[in-house]
């Protein structure tokens, strides 16, 4: 009999949003709309696409395992040293590398109960214990999280803004937390949706690396840059922490096309501007229409919105699928009455609202 690692038995695999092609194949429909995975509806950076076309003929070669050119260009943009950066096959891999580097069986990691589902997944996969902090208002309660730290705590995971709630921790709260957390505990701050936030109270976690605390900031090229299919995320931390994480990182973990696309996308300020503006308009539209329908939602600082249907969301989710609209139920997060809806193009947002009205008969 096959005997997997004891920590693997109770893990629940991550389930991604349903692909458009799968839905159209299953139901025999066309022109389905996917608003399930928080992708950029404008597509990838045009500069990235142009760069990819120039190098695609070289994929017979292994990629640069050190991502030298991307590392130096990104370091200059962020105002850090190249040695402060690590790259991963999506930000998920960077989070996993951090867990494998700093957690061992029996250790504890503190995280919000409705935080990014990958946090407890990678924690349990290495045999550590995920300590969940309640989020009664769907926002991280940093005072509660601090109170759950014990001598066994080795890491704290914090997504800001948080997926799937769309909420954020404000500057004053984060500063209070970082001042009090023990210096030996690694704080990983996932900022996948960093580029969408304009609120003046939003804290850029890079501003606190100078405190000398072991902070790892994680970001991605999947969201506003529109490169989700190429899988490229990165972490920023001290040279010491990055050095340890690089000992765990697999060789050639970031493919050559992802490196070239990201290098070009960093210059595409116009694409970023358009993406932010499109998202603002779409978010305002969805909020206005949901208010008209008298449906509760959580104000969002991201490119998605968490909608509270007030009852089991699966029947509505399935009915929306039959209308050719893919959203994301989040019952696996413990949010038993909610769906998460990505902000799409105007016509996609209108398609969702129209389908929702039909499904709910409103």
Residue 264: enclosing H or E segment and its boundaries?
helix 256-265
Pull the structure tokens for residue 321: 């699928």
Indicate if the pLDDT at residue 3 is higher than 80. Answer: no
pLDDT at 13: 67
Find the mean pLDDT for residues 61-84. 97
Question: At CA 108, angle to CA 253 and CA 134, rounded to 5?
Answer: 105
The tens digit of pLDDT for each residue in 245-286 reads 999 999 999 999 999 999 999 999 999 999 999 999 999 999
pLDDT at 36: 94
pLDDT at 298: 96
CB 14 within 8 A of CB 121: yes
> Which has the closest alpha carbon to 92: 121, 67, 115, 126?
121
Give the percent of the chain with pLDDT over 90. Answer: 90
Indicate if the pLDDT at residue 2 is higher than 70. Answer: no
Residue 149: enclosing H or E segment and its boundaries?
none
CB 139 within 8 A of CB 169: yes
Half-sphere exposure at residue 317, Cβ-oriented, CA atoms within 13 angstroms: 21
Domains of the chain in sequence order = 20-44+269-360 (3.90.1150.10), 46-265 (3.40.640.10)
């Amino acid at each position: 009999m096959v005997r997997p690692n004891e920590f693997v038995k109770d893990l629940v695999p991550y389930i991604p949003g349903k692909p458009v092609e799968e839905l159209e194949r299953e139901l025999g429909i066309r022109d389905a709309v996917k608003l399930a995975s928080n992708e950029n509806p404008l597509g990838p950076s045009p500069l990235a696409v142009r760069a990819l076309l120039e190098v695609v003929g070289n994929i017979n070669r292994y990629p640069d395992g050190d991502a030298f050119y991307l590392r130096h260009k990104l370091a200059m943009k962020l105002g850090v040293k190249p040695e402060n950066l690590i790259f991963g096959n999506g930000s998920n891999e960077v989070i996993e590398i951090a867990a494998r580097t700093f957690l061992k069986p029996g250790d504890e990691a503190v995280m919000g109960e409705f935080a990014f589902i990958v946090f407890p997944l990678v924690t349990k996969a290495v045999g550590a214990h995920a300590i969940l902090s309640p989020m009664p208002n769907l926002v991280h309660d940093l005072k509660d999280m601090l109170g759950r730290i014990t001598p066994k705590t080795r890491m704290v995971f914090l997504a800001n803004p948080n997926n799937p709630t769309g909420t954020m921790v404000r500057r004053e709260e984060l500063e209070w937390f970082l001042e009090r957390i023990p210096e030996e505990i690694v704080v990983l701050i996932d900022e996948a949706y960093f580029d969408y936030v304009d609120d003046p109270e939003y804290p850029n976690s890079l501003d606190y690396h100078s405190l000398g605390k072991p902070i790892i900031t994680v970001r991605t090229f999947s969201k506003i840059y529109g490169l989700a299919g190429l899988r490229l995320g990165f972490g920023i931390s001290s040279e010491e922490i990055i050095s340890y994480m690089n000992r765990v990182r697999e060789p050639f973990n970031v493919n050559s096309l992802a490196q070239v696309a990201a290098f070009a996308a960093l210059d595409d300020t116009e694409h970023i501007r358009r993406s932010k503006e499109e998202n603002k308009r779409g978010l305002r539209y969805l909020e206005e229409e949901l208010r008209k329908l008298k449906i509760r939602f959580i104000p969002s600082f991201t490119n998605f919105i968490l909608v509270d249907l007030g009852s089991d969301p699966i029947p509505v989710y399935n009915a929306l699928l039959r209308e050719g609209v893919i959203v994301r139920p989040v019952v696996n997060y413990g949010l038993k009455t909610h769906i998460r809806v990505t902000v799409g193009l105007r016509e996609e947002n209108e398609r969702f609202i129209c389908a929702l009205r039909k499904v709910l008969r409103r």
